Amino acid sequence: MSEKSINSVNTLLGALRSPQAFTREILAGVITALALIPEVISFSVIAGVDPKVSLIASVVLCLSMSLLGGRPAMVTAAAGSVALVIGPMVHQNGVEYILPAVLLAGVIQILFGLTGMARLMRFIPHAVMTGFVNALGMLIFFAQIPHFWRKEPLILALFALTLLIVLWLPRWVKSIPAPLVAIVLLTAFTLFTGQVLPTVGDEGPMQRGLPGLTQWLVPVNLHTLSIIWPCALSIAFVGLLESLLTAKLVDDLTHSPSSKGRESTGLGIANILAGMYGGIAGCAMIGQTIVNVEMGKGRTRLSTLAAGLVLLLLVTALSEVMAKIPMVVLAGIMAIVAWKTFNWRSLQPATLKQAPIVETLVMLVTVVATVCTSNLAIGVLAGLATLMLTPARWRGKTTAETASPAQEK
């Protein structure tokens, strides 16, 4: 067993021995599961599948990556970037082609991890990373606007109250995550007062129960391969890019290393499992990872394992309770996540003055391309292309510092 694996196991054992740390990890998983629900449901619409399909796949992905992933505390589920590349194939050929496409994508990701190609992520420039983070913060915030920017004064009041609870409660209460308090209190308020507000249940059907294994409904021939291989390649590389960039970000936030090779291999296996039981692929979700790591202070695999189990409980036995959570409360929590995700330091005059002009340009191109396409992979590729097309004498020091070998294995 490597030194990195031993450290990860020791951290997990430490959380299990300490009641305070154990409670913190479990509560972080609870709020992470609640934060997953609205986005996973909305992404299912983009992909053209039933919301229950995305929710069950997210359970499989979250639980699998809690054990197989290379970055503890990073949340993996059915993500929007993957839904964007699956959607066109589904609309043109039908949902039955998702399973073979996801299986092929999983195999590609496993090969990527086993061959060590994940280490190439160390060469992603700092400007592209900053643009990636800033664009994601903007996308998370824009996705919440429809849920609170309404004419009803009560919705705006609940949104503001959610912000106050999440931002101010931690000053006095540190044992319980403030987002969880906001969800419980404001959901109870709307139920007891009889207020009719948009809820999670309005986003998609919340029937109880679990589906069976995904059925293979397409012929095994070259025609099927011609349909699925472009989608499979897109799923594989978009999922890897977002997961490995998110892992790198969490490394910086937690000051701890991760195994990029293990993350790639684990993601491939998890996607194969999700395709067989659930039906759709996924990757790391940076917004929910920020909820887990920053708001919930989750640091071990226990937090994401708890998130997967809580999500499973919500989707099955507690689906009716989950359906009654007001969307405006979750929107308030995710708005704070967006604020915390955005790298405000990158826009400070002192930072802009010191940075080479090309570095600022690369960051802006990454942000604009990502926001305009709602696709993080396209944004990152646009930023890299801008840097490569810039004359070397104009670049200055634009690449990120290379991580130590212990961080990048």
Residue spans of the domains in the chain: they are 8-198+224-339, 340-400
Q: Specify the pLDDT at position 405.
A: 34
pTM as predicted: 0.77
Residue ranges, the chain, pLDDT below 70: 1-17, 42, 45-46, 121-122, 203-209, 375-376, 392-409
Q: Specify the pLDDT at position 7.
A: 56
Among 45, 55, 85, residue whose Cα is nearest residue 375: 85
Q: Specify the pLDDT at position 224.
A: 96
pLDDT digits (tens, 9 = 90+) for 306-364: 999 999 998 888 778 878 888 898 888 888 878 887 888 888 888 888 888 888 899 99
Q: Specify the pLDDT at position 139.
A: 81
Q: What are all long-range contacts of 112-117, with beta carbons under 8 Å and residues at least 24 apart? A: 112/236, 112/240, 112/264, 112/268, 113/260, 113/261, 113/262, 113/263, 113/264, 113/265, 113/266, 113/267, 113/268, 114/261, 114/265, 116/261, 117/264
pLDDT digits (tens, 9 = 90+) for 234-275: 899 888 988 998 998 899 889 998 999 999 999 999 999 999
Q: Specify the pLDDT at position 110.
A: 96
Q: Specify the pLDDT at position 403.
A: 39
